[in-house]
Chain A
Amino acid sequence: MASQANIQELEKIASQVRRDIVRMVHAVNSGHPGGSLGCTDFFVALYFHILKHNIEFDMDAKKEDLFFLSNGHISPVWYSVLARSGYFEVSELSTFRKINSRLQGHPTTEEHLPGIRIASGSLGQGLSAALGAAQTKKLNNEDNLVYVLMGDGELQEGQIWEAAMYGAHHKVDNIIATVDYNGQQIDGPISEVMDLKDLKAKWQAFGWEVIESNGNNMSEIIKSLEHAKSLTGKGKPVLNLMKTEMGYGVDFMQGTHKWHGVAPNDDELANALSQLEETLGDY
């Protein structure tokens, strides 16, 4: 359980990560701030409290928990959290999406950025990779967990449901898959673009243990992830249906798909930064 002091510490980190995100996408006038901001609290809770991981990066990650990002376009939040965790220098965030950078538009392994274990960006592939890695953990007799984050729009990809079937059939119960359930995708609200209907019922019908959570409240995120952990090892994969608000933390970006893949201009950046306390020093 996290103490109140812990929570405040994590919230401070989250504020800095949000600053990093808007500054990174502003600097290159491209990238995906909306989903990054919405998932910031989750990433901070995961990397600074939940995950058993080693910042001395090793691809095989034996005796470590693993995290996979399936919706690779929210790379800014991941890069910021990896840098702030110590995987690489915070100053490297300034290279995001620039030529010769290790911080590609979507996460990749080719540039050997510490913390990244598989490329993602083309959607729908991360759950399969995470399930495979989880089965390797079992074959290697490791009791560590595998975490994966997916977008909700991404659940329109058929491969996700192939993987969902597989995870339950093979009783991959050392995985916690989280859905960033913000209800938005590029072309508009999911309910209008391609309605996912009752996601909880869908995952349950596929044989997963489903919990629902709030992804924009630090103490609730930690509680729900601890709860999810307590459900592992019981013969079923665990799905965390996490409600978030796209753009959370910057009022004019909040709750709309319009900031899915659009960078703020100079004035908008200033406005956004005025809402986010600089707690750890900008890169």
Chain B
Amino acid sequence: MAETKFTFTEKKDTRSGFGDGLLEAGRNNEQVVGLCADLIGSLKMGAFQKEFPDRFFQTGIAEANMMGLAAGMTIGGKIPFTGTFANFSTGRVYDQIRQSIAYSEKNVKICASHAGVTLGEDGATHQILEDIGMMRMLPNMTVINPCDYNQTKAATLAIADYQGPVYLRFGRPKVPIFTPDNQKFEIGKAINMIEGSDVTIFATGHLVWEAIEAEAILREKGISVELINIHTIKPIDEAAILKSISKTRCVVTAEEHQRNGGLGDAVAQVLAQHNPTPQEYVAVDDQFGESGKPEQLMKKYGLDAEHIVAAVEKVIKRK
């Protein structure tokens, strides 16, 4: 296999990027407060709790109340960051988020770990694959899914400075760190990782690294791939999407999410409205996950580099 265009020396979980980012955000701004529903260790919120015990609130296993508390805390200027698994950050508390946070335009940052199948052995009860869809349907909500430790940390700092409700999604497993540690995070601005001319891959979250590996395989086959990291799924960077596809004329979207409602649908909306273009989805095909090792699940549910390669080869034939 050809060398990947990005390399890494270390693997780290994106949730640690959140934990470290939260600590720094707390040091930068005393209005930042943390709430957690009995998952401090899993969310890596321990350092924040230790340094700012008065600004940290344990809610117990009571996520609905946590969302309401966070909404109320904004009145008087606090910037609450809630922490629990993605499943309990969204599906379990959809109505609380809808009424008390999104509709009420509250400056709450909903920070969600263990998203997707890479949660692994715990199985489908915890592997939410619908969260991006639910959150991007809500008016006023910003939806962010960063790709590695550095980007998750930068995103955490960026959302502390942004006024309005945000859903920040990250994961459990250790994954390559391949973005620069000093890269500024601009909400809503896609990052062009690799320039190419035959196909555009729009990838988010853990699938960005898979797409980097896919690009190397495809390069050996003589296919020139443009890779764009869509870390902000809402608002989506329409200009970046349209600029790229005007050159490549075909699209693969890649995400650790259901094909219904996620990044692929967000991109398809842009294409359908402005420039209809052949598109293939790399996403979970309307099924629940299961127990297993993250890499086994990525393979079984069609989310690894090989599946991205196959999707690219298919979509190029449709041009």
> Which A residues are within 8 Å of any B CB, using their own CB?
59-62, 66, 68, 108-110, 117-122, 124-137, 139-140, 142, 158-159, 162-163, 165-166, 169-170
Contacts and interface: CB of A to CB of B under 8 A. Distances in A.
B77 A60 contact: yes
A122 B100 CA distance: 9
A157 B96 CA distance: 12
Given A118-B72, A135-B73, A108 B64 contact: no
Nearest to A117: B75
A131 B68 CA distance: 9
B104 A170 contact: no
A253 B73 CA distance: 38
Contact of A128 (B54, B60, B69, B98): B69
Contacts of A109: 103-105
Given A119-B103, A159-B96, A130 B72 contact: yes
A110 B66 CA distance: 22
Contacts of B65: 128, 131, 159, 162-163, 166
Contact of A131 (B55, B67, B72, B105): B72
Interface residues of B, number: 32
A218 to B, nearest CB: 29
Given A118-B106, A136-B72, A136-B75, A158 B33 contact: no
Given A122-B99, A136-B78, A159-B96, A129 B72 contact: yes
B95 interface: yes
B55 to A, nearest CB: 7
Interface of B: 33, 54-55, 57, 59-60, 62, 64-78, 80, 95-96, 98-100, 103-106
A141 to B, nearest CB: 11
Given A128-B64, A128-B67, A162-B64, A118 B104 contact: yes
13 contacts: A109-B105, A110-B104, A118-B100, A122-B99, A129-B68, A129-B69, A136-B72, A136-B75, A159-B68, A162-B65, A163-B65, A163-B69, A166-B60
A133 B70 CA distance: 9
Contact of A132 (B62, B69, B95, B105): B69
Contacts of A118: 71-72, 75, 100, 104, 106
Contacts of B105: 109-110
Q: Chain B interface secondary structure, helix, strand, loop or mixed? A: helix
A132 B72 contact: yes
A166 B73 contact: no
Nearest to B106: A118
Given A132-B75, A139-B76, 17 more contacts: A60-B77, A61-B75, A109-B104, A118-B72, A121-B99, A127-B68, A128-B72, A129-B100, A131-B65, A132-B68, A136-B73, A136-B78, A139-B55, A162-B62, A163-B62, A166-B59, A170-B57
B103 to A, nearest CB: 5
A66 B59 contact: no
Contacts of B76: 60-62, 133, 136-137, 139-140, 142
Contacts of A128: 64-69, 71-72, 96, 100
B227 to A, nearest CB: 39
Contacts of B98: 122
